[in-house]
Structure 1
Amino acid sequence: MPRERGQKVVATNRKARHDYLIEDTYEAGVVLTGTEVKSLREGRASLVDGYAFIDGGEIWLDAVHIPEYTEGTWNNHAPRRKRKLLLHKHEIIKISHRTAQGGYTLIPLSIYFSDGRAKIELAVAKGKREYDKRQALREKQDKREADRAMASRRNLGD
């Protein structure tokens, strides 16, 4: 059976980019059970409440919802269990120093399959204040309006 090539995104955490200022991103492998992989292949997962933490030199992903596999039997997985992330030791040390500074947290941005293996895009992020969120939204709306004005101006010139 030939292996999959490329990336297939299963779920993204779109709210994370609104709520947090992303500093660094890392690609991490995930330790999953068979039914979790099958559920992900069906495109079912939610990263909304998910976060990661370091415990004993290992990084763990918590509160990510991977629903039970519909065809699973009595040995189906728990939907919101703690899952171990696979990173190099020097990356874990670098992340732990960043999060120890204070104000930084680890959040999952997306879960995807890369060449048939489940991966998590993990971000070291700092929480935005309410006025930062409003400012970013205002900038986005201004850019959209400017693009519209430019497009309508171009269409009038044709």
Structure 2
Amino acid sequence: MSSGGIKVVAENRKAFHDYFIEDRIEAGIILTGTEIKSIRNGRINLKDSYARIDDGEVWVHQMHISPYEQGNRFNHDPLRPRKLLMHRSEINKLVGKIQQQGLTLIPIKIYLKKGMAKVELAVGQGKKNYDKRQALAEKEGKRDIERALRDRNKAY
């Protein structure tokens, strides 16, 4: 376990490449017995997942949870939509933000907190290709500077 009884199970690093993250929200998730066992084993993928608000409820789609090996007939569909647990006021705030142009809900992290699975949702705006290239160039520039400083310190 890491700090505060929180164990990060999966992260969606691609989301930080594809979106400008504006806000983050924690939500609970409704799972079956075999799904939570697979999550505890780290067999989850958030790569192409997204969340939508349907009829006042938040649902996460395309989140792949691999079937549990010992689950036999009780196993679940790996890509089924899963309901997220949030307060009505939080959902209403999200609806207001999402109705703005180009904003979307992305699950960026799944973690276990006091034995319960939690999803960290982010409100993000999609990046254009030139934004992605610019971010990549900045990242490479920082890496080159750090490498040069490290090499310079070794010379002394």
Task: Name the amino acid aligned to 1:86.
Answer: L
Unpaired segments ≥5 residues, structure 1? none
CA distance in 2, matches of 1:59, 1:11: 20
Residue of structure 1 equivalent to 2:125: 126
State, as a whole percentage, how many aligned pairs show the same letter: 55
Task: Name the amino acid aligned to 1:95.
Answer: L
Residue of structure 1 equivalent to 2:13: 14
Instruction: Report how far residue 122 of structure 1 moved.
Output: 0.5
Instruction: Report how far residue 102 of structure 1 moved.
Output: 2.0
Query: CA RMSD for the aligned pairs?
Result: 1.0
Are residues 1:140 and 2:139 paired? Answer: yes
TM-score for both structures, normalised by structure 1: 0.93
Residue of structure 2 equivalent to 1:30: 29
Instruction: Report how far residue 153 of structure 1 moved.
Output: 1.6
CA displacement, residues 114-143 of structure 1 (integer Å, 9 cap, x when unaligned): 111101110000000000000000000000
Instruction: Pick which of 25-34 and 67-76 moved more.
Output: 67-76
CA displacement, residues 80-108 of structure 1 (integer Å, 9 cap, x when unaligned): 11111011211111111111112001011
Residue of structure 1 equivalent to 2:85: 86
Task: Name the amino acid aligned to 2:68.
Answer: Y
Are residues 1:44 and 2:54 paired? Answer: no
Instruction: Report how far residue 112 of structure 1 moved.
Output: 1.0
Report 1:39-118 matches (<5 A): 39-118=38-117
CA distance in 2, matches of 1:150, 1:10: 34
Instruction: Report how far residue 145 of structure 1 moved.
Output: 0.6
CA distance in 1, matches of 2:37, 2:96: 35
TM-score for both structures, normalised by structure 2: 0.95
Instruction: Report how far residue 11 of structure 1 moved.
Output: 1.2
CA distance in 1, matches of 2:66, 2:55: 28
CA displacement, residues 46-94 of structure 1 (integer Å, 9 cap, x when unaligned): 1111100001111011110001111002121111111110112111111
CA distance in 2, matches of 1:132, 1:102: 17
**Greater than 6 Å deviation, 4+ residue runs:** none
